[in-house]
Amino acid sequence: MTDKLKLYTARITFDFVLVAEDNITAFEVALNNMREAFSDLDRHDVDIDINPGAKAYKWDDECIPYGGDGNTRTSAYKENT
C-alpha cells in the first residue's frame, strides 16, 4: 500500500485577533489560544502550502503521517521513494 503513497509537508497559516498589553504578551496569548482559535476556523479560513517530502519541524522517521493507515511510520514511506 505504501508504494503509491508519497510524503508531503503541509504548512497551514491563519489569522486571529487577540488582546494584549504588548508584543511579548501578544505572542504568549497567541500561543495559549492557538488551538482554540484553530478549532473556531472554517476550513476555508486557512492558507495551505504543500511541499514534497517530510520536512516538518521535529518530524522524524518514527512519526506516523496523517492520511495513512494510522500505523505505518514515515520511514516505511521513504523506503518506496
Average predicted confidence (pLDDT) for the chain: 94
- The answer to whether the pTM exceeds 0.95 is no
| pLDDT above 80: residue 49 | yes
* DSSP-assigned beta bridge partners for residue 51: 9
Chain centroid, CA 28 distance in Å = 20
Element containing residue 71 per DSSP (H, E): none
CA pair distance 65, 3, nearest whole angstrom:
15
| pLDDT above 90: residue 63 | yes
12-37 pLDDT, tens digit per residue, is 999 999 999 999 999 999 999 999 99
Q: What grid cell was written down for 48? A: 495551505
pLDDT confidence tier of residue 46, bands split at 50, 70 and 90? very high
